[in-house]
Amino acid sequence: MVLNSNTDMTVKVGLKYCGGCNPEYDRVALVKHIQESLQGKVVFVKPESEGVRLILAVEGCSTACADLSAFQGMEIRVITNIEGGDRFIKEIRAQSGSSAD
Amino acid sequence: MTMMTAEQYEESLRRLNLVVYMFGKRIENVVDDPIIRPSMNAVAKTYELANRPEHEDIMTATSHITGKKVNRFTHIHQSIEDLVKKSKMGRLLGRETGCCFQRCVGMDSLNALDMTTFDIDSKYGTEYHTRFVKYLEYVQDNDLTCCGAMTDTKGDRSLPPHKQADPDMFMHVVEEKQDGVIVRGAKANQTGAVNSHEIIVMPTITLREPDKDYAISFALPSDTEGITYIIGRQSCDTRKLEDGTMDRGNLFFGGHEALVIFDNVFVPWDRVFMFKEYDFSRQLVEQFAAYHRQSYACKVGVGDVLIGAAQTAAEYNGVEKASHIKDKVVEMNHLNETLYCGAIACASEGHKEPSGTYYVNTLLANVHKQNVTRFPYEMARLAQDIAGGLMATLPSEKDFKSDTVGKWMDKYYKGRADIPTEYRMRILRLIENLTLGTAATNYLTESMHGAGSPQAQRIMISRRVNMQEKQRAAKRLCGIE
Question: DSSP characters for A56-89?
Answer: EEE-SSTT-----GGGTTS-EEEE-SHHHHHHHH
Nearest by CB to residue A17, choosing from B54, B81, B85, is B54
Nearest by CB to residue B92, choosing from A15, A19, A28, is A19
Tell me the pairing of strands A11-17 and A54-58: parallel
Q: Distance, in angstroms, between A1 CA and closest chain B CA?
A: 26
- Find chain A residues with C-beta within 8 A of B88's C-beta: 19, 21-22, 65
Which of A13, A17, A18, A21 would best serve as a mutation to test chain B binding (most B beta carbons within 10 A)? A21
Mean pLDDT of the region B334-340: 98
Radius of gyration of chain A (CA): 13
Q: Given this model, what pLDDT does residue B35 score?
A: 97
Dist. CA B281–CA B309, nearest whole Å: 43
CB A16 to CB B57 under 8 A? yes
Q: How confident is the model at residue A101 (pLDDT cuts 50, 70, 90)?
A: very low
Q: Distance, in angstroms, between A24 CA and closest chain B CA?
A: 13
Confidence check: pLDDT of A4 > 60: no
CA-based end-to-end distance of chain A? 22
Residue B203 and residue B193 in contact, taking contact as beta carbons nearer than 8 Å: no
Strands of B227-231's sheet, edge to edge?
Answer: B25-26, B20-22, B227-231, B257-268, B180-191, B172-176
Q: How far is CA B142 from each of CA B128, B188, B212, B270, B412, rounded to the nearest angstrom? A: 21, 27, 33, 18, 54
Q: Given this model, what pLDDT does residue A30 score?
A: 97
Dist. CA A75–CA B284, nearest whole Å: 46
Q: What percent of chain B has pLDDT over 70?
A: 100
Residue B186 and residue B172 in contact, taking contact as beta carbons nearer than 8 Å: no
CB B54 to CB A22 under 8 A? no
Question: Nearest Cα to A64, choosing from B381, B250, B330, B57?
Answer: B57
Least confident residue range of A2-16, B128-142, B158-172, B392-406: A2-16
Annotated catalytic residue B104: yes
With a CB cutoff of 8 Å and minimum separation 6, the contacts of B374 are none
HSE-CB of B306 using CA atoms within 13 angstroms: 39
HSE-CB of B19 using CA atoms within 13 angstroms: 11
Nearest by CB to residue B53, choosing from A17, A65, A67, is A17
Q: Given this model, what pLDDT does residue A98 score?
A: 60
* Neighbouring-strand partners of residue B175: B182
Confidence check: pLDDT of A99 > 70: no
CB B56 to CB A17 under 8 A? yes
Q: Distance, in angstroms, between A28 CA and closest chain B CA?
A: 7
Q: How confident is the model at residue B356 (pLDDT cuts 50, 70, 90)?
A: very high
Residue B154 and residue B166 in contact, taking contact as beta carbons nearer than 8 Å: no
Select which of B229, B292, B435, B441 is catalytic: B292
Dist. CA B464–CA B141, nearest whole Å: 37
CB A46 to CB B53 under 8 A? yes
Counting DSSP H helices and E strands in chain A, the numbers are 2, 4
Annotated catalytic residue B292: yes
Q: Given this model, what pLDDT does residue A1 score?
A: 57
Mean pLDDT of the region B100-124: 98
Supply the DSSP symbol for B444: I
CB A20 to CB B56 under 8 A? no
Q: Where are the beta strands (DSSP E) in B125-193?
A: 146-149, 172-176, 180-191
Select which of B60, B117, B191, B373 is catalytic: B191
Give the alpha-carbon dihedral of B106, B112, B118, B119, to 10 degrees: -150
Q: How confident is the model at residue B2 (pLDDT cuts 50, 70, 90)?
A: confident
| DSSP, residue by residue, B301-349 | HHHHHHHHHHHHHHHHHT-TTSHHHHHHHHHHHHHHHHHHHHHHHHHHT
Mean pLDDT of the region A39-52: 94
Confidence check: pLDDT of A6 > 50: no
Select which of B99, B104, B147, B346 is catalytic: B104
What type of residue is A54? L
Nearest by CB to residue B57, choosing from A28, A46, A66, is A66
Confidence check: pLDDT of B329 > 60: yes
Q: How confident is the model at residue B215 (pLDDT cuts 50, 70, 90)?
A: very high
Handedness of CA B307, B311, B317, B320 (dihedral sign): positive
- Find chain B residues with C-beta within 8 A of A18's C-beta: 57-58
Dist. CA B305–CA B368, nearest whole Å: 20
Residue B20 and residue B29 in contact, taking contact as beta carbons nearer than 8 Å: no
Annotated catalytic residue B99: no
- Find chain B residues with C-beta within 8 A of A28's C-beta: 54
Q: What percent of chain A has pLDDT over 70?
A: 88
Nearest by CB to residue A19, choosing from B58, B95, B304, is B58
H-run or E-run covering B220: strand B216-221
Q: Given this model, what pLDDT does residue A3 score?
A: 60
- Find chain A residues with C-beta within 8 A of B92's C-beta: 19-22
Q: Given this model, what pLDDT does residue A5 score?
A: 44
Annotated catalytic residue B238: no
* Neighbouring-strand partners of residue B184: B172
Annotated catalytic residue B346: no
- Find chain A residues with C-beta within 8 A of B59's C-beta: 19
Annotated catalytic residue B147: no
- Find chain A residues with C-beta within 8 A of B56's C-beta: 17, 19
Q: Distance, in angstroms, between B143 CA and closest chain A CA?
A: 19
Q: Distance, in angstroms, between B55 CA and closest chain A CA?
A: 4
Q: Given this model, what pLDDT does residue B377 score?
A: 98
Chain A: residue whose CA lies nearest to B304 = A22
Supply the DSSP symbol for B228: E
Mean pLDDT of the region B267-289: 97
Q: Given this model, what pLDDT does residue B254 score?
A: 96
- Find chain B residues with C-beta within 8 A of A55's C-beta: none
The rounded mean pLDDT for chain B is 97
Report residue B265: phi and psi, to 5°.
-100, 135
Dist. CA B456–CA B469, nearest whole Å: 23
Which of B46, B57, B97 would best serve as a mutation to test chain A binding (most A beta carbons within 10 A)? B57
Chain A: residue whose CA lies nearest to B94 = A21
Mean pLDDT of the region B180-204: 97
pTM: 0.94
Q: Given this model, what pLDDT does residue A10 score?
A: 87
Select which of B99, B100, B146, B236 is catalytic: B100
Chain B: residue whose CA lies nearest to A26 = B54
CB A19 to CB B85 under 8 A? yes
CB A20 to CB B84 under 8 A? no
Mean pLDDT of the region B289-303: 97
Dist. CA B265–CA B180, nearest whole Å: 10
Which of B54, B72, B341 would best serve as a mutation to test chain A binding (most A beta carbons within 10 A)? B54
Chain B: residue whose CA lies nearest to A14 = B53
Q: How confident is the model at residue B396 (pLDDT cuts 50, 70, 90)?
A: very high
Chain B: residue whose CA lies nearest to A46 = B53
Give the alpha-carbon dihedral of B341, B342, B347, B348, to 10 degrees: 50
Q: How confident is the model at residue A97 (pLDDT cuts 50, 70, 90)?
A: confident
Interface of B with A in 61-90 (CB under 8 A): 81, 84-85, 88-89
Tell me the pairing of strands B20-22 and B227-231: parallel
Mean pLDDT of the region B83-97: 98
